[in-house]
Amino acid sequence: MVDFGGWEMPQQYTSIRDEHFAVRKVAGLFDVSHMGRFRIAGGSSLDFLQH
User: Which tens digit of pLDDT belongs to each residue from 24-47?
Assistant: 999 988 888 877 888 999 999 999
Phi/psi at 24 (5° precision): -70, -35
Side chain identity, residue 39 = R
DSSP letters of 1-51?
Answer: -EEETTEEE-S-SS-HHHHHHHHHHT------GGG------STTHHHHHH-
- What is the pLDDT confidence band of residue 48, given thresholds at 50, 70 and 90? very high
Nearest Cα neighbor of 34 from 8, 16, 13 is 8
Angle at 27 between CA 37 and CA 13, to 5 degrees: 70
What are the structural domain ranges in the chain?
2-50
Q: Report if pTM > 0.75.
A: no
